Structure 1
């Protein structure tokens, strides 16, 4: 007999809305460690995310080595300095340089998330015309773990100022793996009612009407 699906009431819906509202891209971390049980719970939640053809292409690499983490932080700082030069306007360039864009040196957990472009699971279903669906599946897993981490008071920060090939070499990733995200994970050093980039005057969330179209 199939198990009856649960019913989610209005109170749960309101809490879910709050969870989405309070999810943050965290850059400032407390150095205290995250319990292993919580890390495993967050990873387990990622495995429940939808994936094309049930291919489950996500591959998680926890960077436990102090030496590798130091190399990674230095690399990101170098890439960030290069990225700053993209801004021709001096004021905007200085604004960019003033932002804290990663917590790789403080976060107790650093995780590289890859997509296996040749997964055995799924048997190729759903990717004949859109192979990038594998990448999108990994993004869904990351978002799922992000929300579950927030429920437990754990923050996550997505670092994208990296050379994917450098990270792949650093962790000896398989040739079929593509880097999707570099995540800093840990307890935020302070609560943030407003997203940091909005608080620092970089970019606020725009109205949904500007992002919705009809044809």
Structure 2
């Protein structure tokens, strides 16, 4: 598939993992895609921890489930019922997990662009994750970004040094279902905002010309 189709079909998945094994050659292509992402000053601040060990994943799952319970209790009654039916992780169901980290000191202090905006190290890692996500989708593999945890709880489980920041914990595996819309939209939790509602021209709050607005609406319609 081309890049636009991969973007359109990309899903943040927690369900529908088939259990099929990801071959090392395929995994290598996905990881290489992540390593080819743009990074501030070519610093490549990312590392990828591949987690296959079941006992390690069980520890991660228990951390995630505890945070899910806390979030559930914080919700108003109307949202609790919706959230009850939403799966927030696929730690054990997926073939493997990947923890993606950021080392903001990599390649020393003289990194072009990082001195003015230090957060660009973390932004670079996020770009790497998106590259992996699209590559995975092109391979027919699903990926889910799991965020129901305190990173400091996971660090000792994965033996991550104190100065290294966790950016993402991903569940990765082949899927036995393909869905046209995001799971959160299917479950009635949230809806996607059209791109035409999110674009300004020249300054904040100023709407685009009618021709660009129409073009945005028409292109979005083609993807439905």
Q: Which residue of 2 aligns with 1:73?
A: 61
Question: 1:209 is matched with which residue: 181, 186, 196?
Answer: 196
Q: Which runs of 4+ in 1 moved over 4 A?
A: none
- Note the residue ranges of structure 2 that are not aligned, 5 or more in a row: 204-224
TM-score where L is the length of structure 1: 0.89
| 1:64 is aligned to 2:49 | no
Report the Cα offset of residue 188 of structure 1.
1.4
Report the Cα offset of residue 134 of structure 1.
0.3
Report the Cα offset of residue 51 of structure 1.
0.1
Structure-1 separation of matches of 2:84 and 2:113 = 42
How many residue pairs get aligned? The number is 201
Report the Cα offset of residue 76 of structure 1.
0.4
Question: 1:146 is matched with which residue: 110, 114, 133?
Answer: 133
Moved more, 168-177 or 128-137: 168-177
Q: Which residue of 1 aligns with 2:162?
A: 175
Q: Which residue of 2 aligns with 1:98?
A: 85
Question: 2:105 is matched with which residue: 91, 107, 118?
Answer: 118
Q: Which residue of 2 aligns with 1:9?
A: none
Moved more, 121-130 or 100-109: 121-130
Question: 1:164 is matched with which residue: 148, 151, 156?
Answer: 151
Partner of 2:87, secondary structure, is: coil
Q: Deviations over 1:69-121 (max 9, x none)?
A: 0010111011111112222x202022112201111111011011100121126
Structure-2 separation of matches of 1:198 and 1:122 = 43
- Note the residue ranges of structure 1 that are not aligned, 5 or more in a row: 1-11
Report the Cα offset of residue 16 of structure 1.
2.5
Tell whether the 8 Å contact from 1:55 to 1:122 is kept in structure 2 after alignment: no
Structure-1 separation of matches of 2:192 and 2:57 = 32
Report the Cα offset of residue 49 of structure 1.
0.4
Q: Which residue of 2 aligns with 1:16?
A: 3
Structure-2 separation of matches of 1:94 and 1:51 = 41
Tell whether the 8 Å contact from 2:6 to 2:134 is kept in structure 1 after alignment: yes
Residues 1:25 and 1:122: Cα distance change in structure 2 (over 3 Å): farther
Q: Which residue of 1 aligns with 2:216?
A: none
TM-score where L is the length of structure 2: 0.86
| 1:186 is aligned to 2:173 | yes
